[in-house]
């Protein structure tokens, strides 16, 4: 276990990162900086991102910032779990170099500015339709973090598939000099994607939520006969669990994230969102439509 450095200001982070890079250069170490952006409440899925980060560079920075810009009216900003001490302990065990844990005043010293990165059409679909403005807020803070940390690589999870797509597109469109690495979804033994929101599920709901992955798996198995058959298979499997209330279930093209036509054949991604009790869960898988 390393001695982890917890930094709460941008100025201090710049100083510490400069020192770390200089020290690594002097000793022939790896000077690449890898950023893992999070909102805290870390679980095994986050730690998988950290482990991937260690393979990509020698200086690993995990940011922990509950971003107010990506929470809409009636969402759970105030109740979002904040577990900084436990998060720092977990990251120390993973030999993370720095935890950047600013507060809202540090990130927005003049209050929330009117400047926003706009997610465009794709940002208004699926999760964006259910949570208007969510992706503009997410991209704005990710852009700030990339500007603050200036990482060589930033690591995201595939579980938030629409987010990963939009971050990659933003980096390409704005010529940001960071590479985006996306790590496959980490799942529980029953297939449920790991999420900070899983802690809100009671035992019965947790069991019911596993139906989401069962539905995705059914779609993958039926994909060789086309999009319609894949969707029918997924709907049938999920509808068999009354505790799961489907929000959307769509097949999209991986390069545009727009829904595919019934005659489309080739690589695709199936996106799903549903409520189990009061908890909203999302997931996605890749599939090949034959």
What does the alpha-carbon distance between residue 214 and residue 233 come to, in Å, rounded to a whole number?
10
CA 52 to chain centre: 14
- 51's enclosing H/E stretch is helix 44-54
DSSP labels, 19-39: HHHHHHHHTT----EEEEEE-
Query: Which among 120, 156, 161, 164 is positioned nearest to 271, based on CA atoms?
Result: 161
Catalytic site includes residue 46: yes
CA distance 23 to 214: 49
- Catalytic option among 43, 46, 206, 261: 46
Which residue do the tokens 């935890």 mark? 99
Matching residue, tokens 């950023």? 35
Length of the chain equals: 290
Cα 263–chain centre separation: 31
Other CB atoms within 10 A of residue 73 CB: 7
Q: Give me the active site residues, please.
A: 46
């Amino acid at each position: 276990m390393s001695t982890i450095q917890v930094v709460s200001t941008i100025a201090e982070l710049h100083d510490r990162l400069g020192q770390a890079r200089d020290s690594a250069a002097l000793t022939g170490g790896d000077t690449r900086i890898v950023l893992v952006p999070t909102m805290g409440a870390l679980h095994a899925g986050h730690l998988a991102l950290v482990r991937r980060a260690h393979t990509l560079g020698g200086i690993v920075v995990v940011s922990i910032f509950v971003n107010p810009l990506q929470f809409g009216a009636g969402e759970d900003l105030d109740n979002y779990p904040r577990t900084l001490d436990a998060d720092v302990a977990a990251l120390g065990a993973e030999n993370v170099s720095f935890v950047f844990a600013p507060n809202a005043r540090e990130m927005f010293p003049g209050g929330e500015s009117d400047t926003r990165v706009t997610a465009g059409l794709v940002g208004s679909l699926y999760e964006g339709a259910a949570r208007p403005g969510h992706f503009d807020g997410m991209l704005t803070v990710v852009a700030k973090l990339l500007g603050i940390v200036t990482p060589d690589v930033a690591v995201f999870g595939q579980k938030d598939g629409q987010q990963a797509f939009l971050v990659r597109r933003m980096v390409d469109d704005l010529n940001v000099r960071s590479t985006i690495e996306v790590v496959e979804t980490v799942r529980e033994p029953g297939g449920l994607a790991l999420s900070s929101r899983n802690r809100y599920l009671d035992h019965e709901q947790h069991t019911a939520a596993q139906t989401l992955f069962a539905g995705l798996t059914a779609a993958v198995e039926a994909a060789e006969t086309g999009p319609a058959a894949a969707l029918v298979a997924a709907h049938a499997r999920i509808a068999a669990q009354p505790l799961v209330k489907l929000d959307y279930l769509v097949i999209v093209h991986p390069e545009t994230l727009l829904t595919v036509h019934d005659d489309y054949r080739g690589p695709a991604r199936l996106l799903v969102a549903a409520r189990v009790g009061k908890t909203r869960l999302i997931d996605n898988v890749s599939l090949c439509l034959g």
